[in-house]
Chain A
Amino acid sequence: MDLSAISPTLLVASLMVAATPILLAAIGELVVEKSGVLNLGVEGMMITGAFSGFAAAVLTGSPMVGFLCAAIGGAALSVIFAILTQYFLSNQVATGLALTLFGLGLSAMLGQSYVGIKPPVSAKLDLPLISDIPVIGPILFSHDFTVYAALTLVTGVWFFLKYTRGGLILRAVGESHDAAHALGYKVVRVRILAIMFGGGCAGLGGAALSLVRVPQWTEGMTAGAGWIALAIVVFASWKPARVLLGAYLFGGVAVLQLNLQAAGVSIPVEYLSMSPYLITIIVLVVMSTNRAKSALNAPAALGRVFHASR
């Protein structure tokens, strides 16, 4: 055992990269849930984004076009969910699950010919001098575009929800769609926009996986990342800053587990792998012990069907 081989600086830097896909997906889903919609299709939208981003990047040779197409792909898939749940008033849980299965299958089929191909390399930030500062340089100034995009998005969402009129409307729709409707807000329109934003973020998260973190395409490569993103939203009790914390915690455990193995620590890795899920369950239990607490956090209209006639 040689723990000194684990460099805390590099550990933090690599957990930021490892956490970026789930952070992107989770911040998108937070907005969706804040509007009162539960979309369980995150995994399906992520894998669709991972594929469409990869394919676009390979075909055009530009990672940026890839990221753009990933967001469009994820958002396009989420439109199916939006139409089904908002116009045809289908059950959100069942529709979301179906979306995940559909996305996994569709991307696997379309992606057949992209297995084993090398995508164009995404540039990393490399500022002279600043990127070379010990500790701070590797952690803050030497990542690729997605890490900064994710952090910007989290800040943006936090600001939007807390300080803008649009954010207030979105939250009102999520807390009581009938009241929001009575005030003249377009509940369905707000929700569809939120769902598409969530889809776009999930798509970007998928592309962060297929274009930066791995970078390769394989069917099913998200391997449950979408479900982790859903768990993080609950873990964070619908607060953007805690989503960041949750994503880094989950990402950190994944990276730490490998680091401990390489350093020759002989604790079973399964314990570390399950610890984030255990924490999520504990958070859920604590939240549900007190009705006032849970009412404070979860959007009151979450998962409920809205119809203007009522």
Chain B
Amino acid sequence: MKLKSILASAALAMTAATGTLAETTKVGFVYVGPVGDGGWTYEHDKGREAVVAAFGDKVETMYVESVPEGPDAERVMTDMALKGADLIFTTSFGYMDQTINVAAKFPNVKFEHATGYKQSDNVSIYSARFYEGRAVQGHIAGHMTKSNIVGYIGSFPIPEVIRGINAAYIHAKAVNPDVQFKIIWAYTWFDPTKEADAAKVLIEQGADVVLQHTDSTAPQAAAQAAGNVITFGQASDMAAYGPKPRVSSIIDNWGPYYIARTQAVMDGTWASTSTWDGIGAGMVGIGEITSAVPADVKASAEALRDSLADGSYHAFTGPLNKQDGSVWLKAGETAADYAGPEGLAEMGFYLEGIDSEVPN
């Protein structure tokens, strides 16, 4: 009797559970760093919170932090899919093949991979044109440097990072022909110890501007300790380090995209797409340019930002040569997004004037 009633209530609970399941949409997020990194992952998590705020009870989100890029990511994604996720955002370049693999096993689950270039029937790709923000940073860096040495902390030598270096370099050089870039590869997205060491070394070698393409605020702290060095917030505003060393920032704004994609899943209209938006669409924001930057530089930087936003200027406009001196873009020509190794999406070469080599 007792057992029967337990079984009955269990059965009831199960139907109730499946009932609610059908109504809520489950959205999973795979993060490469901790949500408290103050940079990349922090902004993705703000996007997740925007989804929760927009849909309330109709959506259930889950996330896993600090997932290494590699086989372990596949386990995390599989686990999310088995827990009933309808939509999974995998938010780092290094999850590309894992996303494609897991997506093949769960054809009914929708996947969204950030910053990659492999698409399939249930895998969309999305990225932001961070290089537009890098152009603005390069412009400010070229004006602000007194030693003419700009330090750059790279994460991994992948197209997204190389694009950023090139965009920053050509815009720094446009306003300061003597500028020189020193580049250190940290081979990590998030490791405050390595990032701090790299920033210190760049400063010791004369850099008075440090740009970072890694996600922690450690380089900002190193610049602050060193004194007369300026930095830019990466992925997030990092306003805690303003008005100096942090003089501006690139802010990733994923919220609207995440809300739109979740809505599409709810409506059953989700289709595999490729999205690459910049300042104009609001996916890339330029953080407030602080008082440490002279008014005329601030004005010209904002003019550059606005011309990138309305499309009247492309960050890669010819004439531009590759590092080896061969012509990449003729005068007036702008770079194509997808054109094999010549296009922006797969950019693997430095432009003329950068004197280090892209590591293999």
Contacts and interface: CB of A to CB of B under 8 A. Distances in A.
Interface of A: 5-7, 10-11, 14, 18, 112-113, 115-116, 118, 121, 209, 213-216, 218-219, 221, 223, 254-255, 258-259, 261-264, 266, 269
Contacts of B35: 115
A259 B201 contact: yes
A218 B216 contact: yes
A264 B185 CA distance: 11
B356 interface: yes
* Interface-central residue, A112, A116, A254, A259, by most chain B CB under 10 Å: A116
A14 B204 contact: yes
Contacts of B184: 258, 261-262
A121 B225 contact: yes
Contacts of B66: 219
Contacts of A269: 185
A262 B151 contact: yes
B193 interface: yes
Nearest to A222: B193
Classify chain B's interface size: 20 to 34
17 contacts: A14-B201, A14-B204, A115-B36, A116-B37, A118-B217, A118-B240, A121-B225, A214-B192, A216-B217, A216-B221, A218-B191, A219-B34, A219-B66, A221-B193, A255-B197, A262-B205, A269-B185
Contacts, number: 85
A5 B205 contact: yes
B103 interface: no
A306 B218 CA distance: 46
B221 A118 contact: yes
A264 B182 contact: yes
Given A116-B217, A214-B218, A218-B216, A223 B197 contact: no
Contacts of A5: 182, 205-206
Given A214-B196, A262-B183, A264-B356, 16 more contacts: A5-B206, A7-B204, A115-B37, A116-B217, A118-B217, A118-B240, A209-B193, A214-B192, A214-B221, A221-B192, A223-B193, A259-B201, A262-B184, A264-B355, A264-B357, A269-B185
Contacts of A18: 197
Contact of B357 (A6, A218, A221, A266): A266
B175 to A, nearest CB: 23
Given A115-B37, A116-B36, A258-B184, A14 B200 contact: yes
* Top 9 A-B pairs, shortest CB-CB distance: A115-B36, A116-B36, A258-B201, A116-B38, A264-B356, A10-B204, A216-B192, A262-B182, A5-B205
A215 B221 contact: yes
A46 to B, nearest CB: 12
A101 to B, nearest CB: 17
A269 B204 CA distance: 19
Contacts of B357: 264, 266
A268 to B, nearest CB: 8
A21 B221 CA distance: 19
A142 to B, nearest CB: 12
A7 B202 CA distance: 11
B32 interface: no
Contact of A262 (B38, B42, B201): B201
Interface string B24-65: 000000000011111000100000000000000000000000
Contact of B198 (A7, A218, A258, A264): A258
Contacts of A6: 205
Given A116-B42, A219-B66, A258-B184, A214 B201 contact: no
Nearest to A21: B193
A23 to B, nearest CB: 16
A72 B34 CA distance: 27
Contact of B202 (A213, A218, A221, A262): A262
A261 B199 CA distance: 12
Contacts of A221: 192-193
A118 B200 CA distance: 17
Contacts of B38: 116
Contacts of A213: 193, 196-197
B39 to A, nearest CB: 9
Contacts of A258: 184, 197-198, 201
Interface string B200-239: 1110111000000000111001000100000000000000
A255 B198 CA distance: 8
Contacts of B356: 264, 266
Contact of A214 (B42, B182, B193): B193
Nearest to B187: A269
A115 B34 contact: yes
A58 B97 CA distance: 41
Contacts of B355: 264
